[in-house]
Structure 1
């Protein structure tokens, strides 16, 4: 049931809060999802608030150009405040914006893109309404697990903390992942010793569930037997272990080959490989990219990953389609190359596009170029694109700020930013993805 507007909202004061409580009025929600207020000439960041809230808060540590605060009480709720649908909200650090009304939430996501473009001097670019993905659709998640004495906890880190908040349900992830929460907690108790912790990544793939345990000591024979039995009991496609996120994963139980499917092509997926967070989000990204590429026949797909865009483009009914997929990661390149081998119209190249971007001359032989870099963006590659003669460039990004920076480079090189489409597949988080289309 939604709270009545006059009802006051109280939060337990965090141990890190200091100083006497202050009264604040929240002006807006900032880029990280916290409410922004002013006090004594300083910006104050107050989590779990919305524009128009009047609150009591405890000022804490300096943060950037201001100070962090802890919400103590909402004395007067703003018009965009809503009742969070999840009972874990406010403690669990997985979601930041469940307390924001639906219409305001969608507008805020779109505004993150518009604001980033405006800061780069691109305020006139058209920004489409946010494409929203549904709840319970996230197909990958990473849980934290720890053992203290005989007790194990599995869940997400609490807000701004290394403490783990036990999660008994989640409105974001697919049901197949939810069904594993209790069994995974039991598995953690069976293989972790007192004081040990691990991250457990779960991904839903073609062929079954992919589980990767990261950060725990190397499992001995007994732990491996328990892990293998767990995989058999719960029909896990593959269960692996690795010492750190940067280390290669070692399969402990590989019961089936696991794939991702792009444009009807099955691509083998290594343990822990990057995938879009949800099938719905991936479909929205692919649709926007295909619309941007249009009927271009010769297409370069830069930072191609496993071929999320390469294979759907190659499968279009466009005569003489040729897609050249370029990826720096060895594992992703090998998987993409294996899937594309023998398939007409798809070639793969391994290349570090940060250190060795495709040159303007190399790019100019294509009718369209897609670039989908990590959060750091594609600074060096954008410079070469800006100097090329490619008629159409489609940028995909999970970071509006670095996208805006790269977009500025392209526009300065003579491109016109035709349209940007925000896509929200990280529900109730501060993250937003986008697809931007540039034309000469």
Structure 2
């Protein structure tokens, strides 16, 4: 019953970062706990399979103090209370177990930490509380409530000023009375902010937003991708290229993460002379691969392709890169189109690339390199390639989302 304490023993940490208690044949999930801990909990009425942690009676020797004052209230981090070595071993084991469930056997390399200086992009939420006050911060754990924050220690120092700018923008937009999502990216030359959720705005508020952008020296401010003010085009460095960011564009969460993934891709494509980079985005792999290889880069995002095309024109010393817009979910490259490539790189969104992978499996491409941000869909896609005659030679987990269960990987398939 609600309010009645329940004493549980934690068996292991599950794939979402919660401690798992095996009680009467059922799995109960207790956040912020570790294996072999004995804890006092209470029921969560909204989630019958979950328990709220009340206190720890017997702590794990692997437990450490969290470094953030918002931990357990803010839902951004699931794990700050675990020593680094067992935490990394747990993340690597997620990859091993997921592949095993798909009946895939392959060596899994030690995990590569790619947190670097911290997250270079963040989405802040602005909402009015029940008291009418404005809160700017992150969603609470397992809730839509917003935890107002003054600082986030996992952010790249390049995002300094992001919270102040977001609060100022949210204050100007208070009359709109709508929930806002404020995406902030640290470009090389300033902050790039895209605000979503406002709906149509009167000229007076647009003018006020422009003043805020000037006052906080933002590189650019957009609203739903539409320009409000641009002091300078926001750019990021990718290899030897300078790429202008499309508004609200995708970017790897950390600079170290991008560099780590790209270095692995280059290593696994070594020797290839003609490479297809599928789901290429703004070119983090293509622009680096082109230092030694001819590249065809495809993505459905027109803004990303336009930025990549401009970067290609502006960068000297690259092999030819052909960047084109193509929806690879609806129009995947077929084996006949793939025949001239000696390597393919694909880095799809979380849903994976089943349609494209089925065509790859039917092709004669000698090397396929997969980059994935979802171990489950990677395992599905990997099984298709293996059943099509490929051998999965290597898998390297990459941790650029430290303190969360989220993990990425780079894998090499060879025919």
**2:102 is the counterpart of 1:129:** no
Change (3 A) 1:328 1:311: same
Whether the 8 Å CA contact 1:395–1:437 is kept in 2: the answer is yes
User: 1: CA distance between counterparts of 2:46 and 2:149?
Assistant: 30
Shift of 1:297: 0.4
Match of 2:413?
438
Between stretches 273-282 and 48-57, larger displacement belongs to 48-57
Shift of 1:136: 4.3
Match of 1:86?
68
User: 1: CA distance between counterparts of 2:178 and 2:355?
Assistant: 42
Match of 1:354?
329
User: 2: CA distance between counterparts of 1:98 and 1:381?
Assistant: 38
Change (3 A) 1:58 1:160: same
Q: Deviations over 1:12-35 (max 9, x none)?
A: xxxxx8363222111111111111
**2:208 is the counterpart of 1:226:** yes
Match of 2:366 among 373, 391, 395: 391
**2:329 is the counterpart of 1:345:** no
Between stretches 336-345 and 359-368, larger displacement belongs to 336-345
Shift of 1:146: 2.1
Change (3 A) 1:354 1:183: closer
Shift of 1:192: 1.3
Whether the 8 Å CA contact 2:272–2:343 is kept in 1: the answer is yes
SS in 2 for 1:229: helix
User: 1: CA distance between counterparts of 2:30 and 2:243?
Assistant: 44
User: 2: CA distance between counterparts of 1:179 and 1:259?
Assistant: 18
Between stretches 274-283 and 78-87, larger displacement belongs to 78-87
User: 1: CA distance between counterparts of 2:160 and 2:58?
Assistant: 36
Match of 1:245?
none
**2:336 is the counterpart of 1:335:** no
Between stretches 305-314 and 337-346, larger displacement belongs to 337-346
Match of 1:145?
126
Change (3 A) 1:353 1:389: same
Match of 1:34?
18
Match of 1:162?
144
User: 1: CA distance between counterparts of 2:347 and 2:162?
Assistant: 32
User: 1: CA distance between counterparts of 2:3 and 2:24?
Assistant: 14
Q: Deviations over 1:173-219 (max 9, x none)?
A: 11232333234323322331284321111101133210111112433
| Equivalent residues in 2 for 1:305-316, closer than 5 Å | 305-316=281-292
SS in 2 for 1:347: strand
| Equivalent residues in 2 for 1:226-245, closer than 5 Å | 226-242=208-224
Whether the 8 Å CA contact 2:291–2:319 is kept in 1: the answer is no
**Runs of 5+ unmatched residues, structure 1:** 1-16, 243-248
Q: Deviations over 1:265-293 (max 9, x none)?
A: 22221110001011100000001101100
| Equivalent residues in 2 for 1:37-436, closer than 5 Å | 37-61=21-45, 67-122=49-104, 124-134=105-115, 136-148=117-129, 151-193=133-175, 195-242=177-224, 249-316=225-292, 321-341=293-313, 344-436=319-411
Detail structure 1 runs of 4+ shifted over 6 Å in the superposition. Answer: none
User: 2: CA distance between counterparts of 1:222 and 1:175?
Assistant: 33
User: 2: CA distance between counterparts of 1:175 and 1:206?
Assistant: 12
User: 2: CA distance between counterparts of 1:186 and 1:259?
Assistant: 24
**TM-score between both structures, scaled by the size of structure 2:** 0.94
Whether the 8 Å CA contact 1:170–1:178 is kept in 2: the answer is no
Shift of 1:351: 1.6
Whether the 8 Å CA contact 1:135–1:172 is kept in 2: the answer is no
Shift of 1:239: 0.6
User: 1: CA distance between counterparts of 2:308 and 2:358?
Assistant: 26
SS in 2 for 1:419: strand
**Residues paired across the two proteins, number:** 411
User: 1: CA distance between counterparts of 2:176 and 2:299?
Assistant: 41
Whether the 8 Å CA contact 1:146–1:192 is kept in 2: the answer is no
SS in 2 for 1:193: helix
Change (3 A) 1:62 1:119: farther
Q: CA RMSD in A?
A: 1.9
SS in 2 for 1:113: helix
Q: Deviations over 1:105-132 (max 9, x none)?
A: 111111111111111111x311111111
